Structure 1
Amino acid sequence: MNHETAVRTAGPRTGRPVLVDASGPRLPAVDRARIRPRYRAILAVDIEGSTARTDPVKAELRRTLYRLLEEAFNRAGIGERYREEYVDRGDGALVLVQPFDEVPKTLLLHPAVPILSALLAEYNAAQSIASGGDRRIRIRVVVHAGEVHNDGHGNFGEALDIACRLLDSPQAKSALRRTRAPLVLIVSEDIYHSIVRHGYEGIRADSYVPLVRLEVPGRSHQGWLYDATAPYRHPTLTTWTRRLRAVRGARPAPAP
C-alpha cells in the first residue's frame, strides 16, 4: 500500500478503513537542513571525582570550570564568535569550534590546552582541603574533529561518540590518577595523524603515546595520550642514530 496501513475504521456505519502514512510526516525543509553534517573541532572535558563531591561543591566547581575554559579559549585566540555554546555534560563540558582559517585545530593543542592547564594549576594552588570539601579541579581533556549533527534537540553523531568514549575510557581515568598534573590530554587518531605527528609549533609529536583502542562501527580507533614527561628526542640526532646503526650493521664481521 506504499507505506500506508489500515489503523482504524471510520465509524460504526461505514466500516471503511482510514489509511495513514506509516512512514510518518516528512520533515520540513528547515528541519532537513538542520540535521545536515557540519564539520567541527571537538574539545570535551570531564572533572575527576565529581560524583564524590556534595552538590554545593559541584556547583562551585562547574562555575570555575566554565570560567577557566572561557579564559583559556580567549587567551588562545579562539573567541566566542568561533565557538558554539558550551554543551553541558553534568560534570564536564563539550565545546564545538567552527572551521575558520583564524582558528586551526593546532590552537586547541597549543596554546589552549597548556593555558587551561596553567590556569587550573594556579587555581588549585590557592585551594585547601577544608571542612566544606575539596575545591581542587583535575580534568580529562579530549580533542577530536569530525562531522556533527543537530536535530534541534541536541548534537549527535559518530564523531561525538568517539570523543565521549575516549573521555570516559578507563585508560583515560587511570592516566589522570597516575599524574600530579591538573589535566591529561587525549587526542583522537584523526588529530594525531593530521596534526600531532607533523610537529607544528608548540606540538611535540614524540610526547604522545598510544593509550587506548576503541572499536567503533566499521573501524578500530586509537587514542593517544600526551605525556609531558616524555624525554625530548632531537629529530636530527634520531636520524643520525638510525643511519649509524645501519652502517654498523652493514660492516663485515672482523676476521678471527
Structure 2
Amino acid sequence: MDGAIPTRLLPPYRALLAVDIVKFSAAKGVFLGDLHELVPEVLERAMNLSGLQEVWNARRFPDSAGDDYIFGTDPAWLPLLVSPLLANLQTVLEEMDHRLAARDRNLRLRLRAALHVGPVPDSGDPVRDRISEPTVTTFRLLNSTPINDMLKRSHPDVTQTAAVLSQRVFDDVIRPGYTTLHPSELTSATAEVPGKDFAEPAWLYVPRPSWQAGTQDRPAAPTVEAEKANGSPLAVFHAPVGQSNTAHHMQVSQTLPADFFGRESKGDRSE
C-alpha cells in the first residue's frame, strides 16, 4: 500500500543510563564548565569502583548536552548498573562534595540518574545512533516530578544522588532478583513531566536517604499495624518490665516516673 511504513528489523537492545546535574542553572556561571566536565569523571570513577571499567570503556553513543550525560551498553550489565553502581555513585559524589565545599559551599554536584532498556539504533552513526523512543523515555524519567521532589526533600549534604528506574527495568532486573536490592528498597511512583504528555510507572531508589528540615510531607513512622503486616519483630510494652527486649518497633503506653531507671527494686537490692 502506497505511503505505508515498511516493516523493519528491531535495532539492538541497549541498557541506557542517563544522569544530569541537580540545579545546574543555579550554580555560579564561573563554575558551570567545571561541573560539566566533572560528570563523566564521576561516572567513570563510580563504574571503576563497581568493577565496570570494561563497560565504561566500551560504552555506546555517549553524549552530553551540558548538564547531562547518557550512554548505552549491553543489557546484560543492567543488574550491575543498578547495584552496586548507584550506591558507588553516591560514595564518589560524597568525596567530590568535600572537594567542592573547600572551594565554595554553594558549589554542589548532585546527580539525578535514570535507567531504562529497549531497542536503540547503534550502528556507529554519530548522527542517528541513540535517537529512539527508549532514549526519549529515559530523559523523561530523568526529568520527572517524583525524582525531583525526592531530591528537594532530601538534605543536600547527605543525599548526593537518587535514581528512577523504568517499570521495564524493575520487572526484568529487580523483581526477579538479579540484584542485591530488595524490591522493598524502591518506591513506586508515576513519572510525569510538567508540560509533556508523559506519565509512566517508575521506581525510585535513593542509596542514602535523608530528610530536609522544614518539608511538610515527611512520611509517617511505621505503625504497629504496618509492622505486623510486614512480619517485623514487634514488642509492645504496656507497663514497666525488667527484661531486655529487641524489636523494630516499641510502643510504651505508660508514662514512667522521671527517676524510674535510677531506682533499685526491692528484689534486686542486695542485703
1:126 equivalent in structure 2? 99
Displacement of 1:125: 2.4
Gaps of 5+ in 1: 4-22, 24-32, 232-236, 243-256
Normalising to structure 1: TM-score of the pair? Answer: 0.68
Name which of 151, 168, 189 aligns with 2:167.
Answer: 189
- 2:25 maps to amino acid: T
- Partners of 1:42 and 1:97 within 8 A in 2: yes
2:189 aligned residue (197, 211, 221): 211
Query: Among 66, 69, 73, which residue is 1:97 paired with?
Result: 73
Structure 2 CA distance for partners of 1:134 and 1:195, relative to 1, 3 Å: same
Structure 2 CA distance, aligned partners of 1:240 and 1:185?
25
Residues 1:145 and 1:90: Cα distance change in structure 2 (over 3 Å): same
2:33 to 59, 75, 90: 59
Alignment of 1:107-256 (within 5 A): 107-128=80-101, 134-149=106-121, 152-154=126-128, 155-180=130-155, 181-213=159-191, 221-228=200-207, 229=209, 241=231
Partner residue of 2:245? none
Code of the residue aligned with 1:49 in structure 2: it is K
Contact kept, 8 Å, 2:14 with 2:117, in 1: the verdict is: yes
Corresponding residue for residue 82 of structure 1: 58
Which letter does structure 2 place at the counterpart of 1:190?
A: R
Report the TM-score when normalising by structure 2: 0.64
Report how far residue 36 of structure 1 moved. 5.8
- Give the aligned CA root-mean-square deviation in angstroms: 3.4
Q: What amino acid sits opposite 1:48 in the alignment?
A: V
In 2 relative to 1, CA 59–189 (structure 1 residues): closer, same or farther, beyond 3 Å?
same
Report the CA distance between 1:147 and its aligned residue. 0.8
User: Secondary structure of 1:198's partner?
Assistant: coil
Query: 3-state SS of the aligned residue for 2:101?
Result: coil
* Greater strand content: 1
Greater gyration radius: 1
Q: Distance in 2 between matches of 1:190 and 1:58?
A: 34
> Is contact 1:82-1:98 (8 Å) kept?
no
For 1:213 and 1:59, the matched residues in 2 are separated by 30
Equivalent residues, number: 203
Change (3 A) 1:93 1:208: same
With over 3 angstroms needed to count, the CA separation of the structure-2 counterparts of 1:227 and 1:199, relative to structure 1, is: farther
1:9 corresponding residue in structure 2: none
Q: Secondary structure at the match of 1:156?
A: coil
1:63 alignment partner AA = E
The SS at the match of 2:175 is: helix
**Mapped contact 2:114–2:142 kept (Cα < 8 A):** yes
Which residue of 2 is the match for residue 20 of structure 1?
A: none
Output one character per residue of 1:119-174: Cα deviation in whole Å (capped at 9) or x when no partner. Answer: 0011112332756x733211110011111125641421111111110101122211
Stretches of structure 2 that go unaligned for 5 or more consecutive residues are 210-218, 222-226, 233-271
Equivalent AA in structure 1 for residue 23 of structure 2: G
1:222 and 1:140 mapped to 2: Cα distance?
17
